[in-house]
Amino acid sequence: MTYIALEEAFSIPGPDAGTPPWARNTHRTRPDVMKDWARRLADFTAYRLPEMDEHGVDIQVLSLTVPGIQAYTDVAEAVSNATAANDYLAEAIANEPDRFRGFAALPMQDPKAAIAELRRCVTELGFVGALVNDHTNGSYLDEPAYEDFWTELETLDVPLYIHPSIIAADQWHVMEGHPELRGSMWSFGVTVAGHVLRLLFGGVFDRHPNATLIVGHMGELLPFHGSRMDSRYLVQESLWPLKRMPSEYLGSNILITTSGVTSPAVLEGAVLALGADGIMFSIDYPYESTASAVRGFEAARLSDADREKIAHLNARRILKL
């Protein structure tokens, strides 16, 4: 089996490393785990390629590790560091052009600059899309300032991958006294899912019907909420009436990856909810194990055709590989 993995992180060595120092290790991760992640994030060949080879991962689509450019409050600094990060990634890809592709890091602090950088990365550097780490200083992508950005995504015909941020947009009382709930255990998934629903119910995909959004971690479990969204939509007064039922945007405009979710049962359920055409394999390297990701995928009860689609064919189609 050949795999293409879409949510695979890298970091930039050095004192800045593409992320402000204050934004690093804001969660309760064990120091030994952080140390292992750090050496794997900064590497492209010593650890990454052998692990890919061992488990049949043909291509990793690389993106700047969380929280990336979204952590900057200074606009000029965000623009400058996005350019530097993308140039760094382009060089890494050029060294291994058969094994790596790239998602652009974008300075959403300045929507016009983000559009220009997206265009440069796709048309000049050969990147296959972009990845944004949830909100940018509390701003969400359904806001009017980003309308032209969605138009540009349609024009370039590339997807946007939305990823969690380690920087909370606000504080939730439900998590007070329970730091284990912050981050990848729980808050990452629900905050990104909320962002995706803002886009859906804000009519972004009605105004931009050719836009493609990719959501990791099995769609932050949104596929399993589709029928509930539909039933509640029918009884509510909506600010922006949709052209389709909410669940119909899942698997069409909104695609998902398996990153970080290794349960065969959950994958089987996602196929039933969305159809295999809306799902792509991912690992979440180095935060998750390639071996576990592949083992969980191979244990799922899927048809041969669906398995090939999810493992690599959908990614080749969506990313034009």
284 is catalytic: yes
Q: What percent of the chain has pLDDT over 70?
A: 94
186: pLDDT confidence band, cut at 50, 70 and 90? low
pLDDT in tens, 205-255: 999 999 999 999 999 999 999 999 999 999 988 778 999 999 999 999 999
Give the model's pLDDT for residue 29.
72
Give the model's pLDDT for residue 27.
58
pLDDT in tens, 68-94: 999 899 999 999 999 999 999 999 999
Averaged pLDDT of the chain:
92
Give the model's pLDDT for residue 176.
77
Q: Which of 166, 169, 162, 85 is nearest to 127 (CA)?
A: 85
Which domain covers residue 239, as residue numbers? 3-319
pLDDT in tens, 124-134: 999 999 999 99
Paired sense of beta strands 3-10 and 57-64, if any:
parallel
Residue 85: its H or E element: helix 75-95
Q: Which of 24, 33, 13, 56 is nearest to 308 (CA)?
A: 56
146 has a pLDDT exceeding 60: yes
| Cis peptide, bond prior to residue 286, ω within 30 of zero | yes
| Average pLDDT value for residue range 299-321 | 98
Give the model's pLDDT for residue 15.
42
Instruction: Tell me the whole-structure pTM to 2 decimals.
Output: 0.94
| Average pLDDT value for residue range 186-198 | 87
Paired sense of beta strands 129-133 and 160-163, if any:
parallel
CA–CA dist 299, 213 (Å, integer)? 27
Place of tokens 């450019």: 69
24 has a pLDDT exceeding 60: no
Place of tokens 């994030």: 41
Tally the domains of the chain.
Answer: 1
| Average pLDDT value for residue range 265-287 | 97
CA atoms within 13 Å, Cβ hemisphere of 138: 4
> Looking at 110, 134, 142, 284, which residue is catalytic?
284
* CATH number of domain containing 108: 3.20.20.140
Give the model's pLDDT for residue 17.
46
CA–CA dist 67, 146 (Å, integer)? 20
pLDDT in tens, 29-71: 788 888 898 899 999 999 999 999 999 999 999 999 988 999 8
Give the model's pLDDT for residue 26.
52
22: pLDDT confidence band, cut at 50, 70 and 90? very low
Place of tokens 């409050």: 73
Q: How far is CA 221 from CA 48, 193, 218, in A?
A: 28, 8, 6
Q: Which of 54, 132, 64, 135 is nearest to 93 (CA)?
A: 64
